[in-house]
Amino acid sequence: MSQLDPNRRFQIALDRARAEWAAAEPARCAALAGCPLTPEGIVVPYFGRPQRVTYPDGAATTAEGKPVHISINIVLLHYLLTADGAAPADRWLSFRELPDGLFYAQAFAGHAEGEISQRFGADVAGFRPAATALGGATLDLADASFRFQALPRLAVAVLLWTGDDEFPGQARILFDAHAGHYLPTEDLAGIGDWLAHKLISTRP
């Protein structure tokens, strides 16, 4: 599968998730994921923005009725299929501490964390409004840090340390310790990449 182009890999993952979703119990999945079940589908807030997942086809749309990106469609389905109702742990883990996190850790550090470090390592003043614009809540960690509610029962944090003449700035993305109860680690990497992209592209 690693030889396939990304679009084909996404489509295979989506087809598999939709097949599993068609055989699932939507009311039970919604309850375990902390999401409301409506006649039109299950509402799954993604970073505070409501998305709707239909049953049994597993199509995901925005509040305006537009199809979401295929990668987000996959994450929403995996969230509903994986959620087991575990309460938030209220403690943080680094990416490498997640189940199988070491397998993806180097790529994650280079992509999501590296991009945030490069963009904001010398610009904490720009990081704060960008994080706030995405719904981040301040934490008392690092030089600047914010907590994001990625999904109803999955929180993510971004920590930023400013650089100086000797050391460059550094960012770290942390996950609630029970994140593995709600998404596979590969999807958590995708959430980190999405958040990094949005932080960098946000213009408060």
Q: What is the pLDDT, as a whole number, of residue 1?
A: 40
Is residue 132 predicted with pLDDT exceeding 50?
Answer: yes
pLDDT in tens, 87-128: 999 899 999 999 888 888 888 998 999 999 999 998 999 999
The full 3-state SS of 93-140, as one line of letters, equals: EEHHHCCCHHHHHHHHHHHHHHHHHHHHCCCHHHHHHHHHHCCCEECC
Alpha helices by DSSP H, listed for the chain, are: 6-22, 26-33, 70-82, 101-108, 114-120, 124-133, 185-201
Task: Please report which confidence band the pLDDT of residue 4 belongs to, taking 50, 70 and 90 as the band edges.
Answer: low
**What are the b/e assignments for 75-114, b being 16+ CB within 10 Å?**
bbbbbbbbbeeeeeeeebbbbeebeebeebbeebbebbbb
Q: Which CATH class is domain 92-201?
A: alpha beta
Task: Please report which confidence band the pLDDT of residue 2 belongs to, taking 50, 70 and 90 as the band edges.
Answer: very low
Mean pLDDT across the chain = 93
Neighbours of 167 (CB within 10 A): 10
pLDDT in tens, 23-67: 999 999 999 999 999 999 999 999 999 999 999 999 999 999 999
Q: Calculate mean pLDDT across residues 61-88.
A: 96
Q: What is the pLDDT, as a whole number, of residue 164?
A: 74
Q: Are 203 and 119 in contact (CB under 8 A)?
A: no
Q: What is the pLDDT, as a whole number, of residue 66?
A: 96
Domain spans, the chain: 6-82, 92-201
Q: What is the pLDDT, as a whole number, of residue 204?
A: 57
pLDDT in tens, 152-188: 999 999 999 997 777 888 999 999 999 999 999 999 9
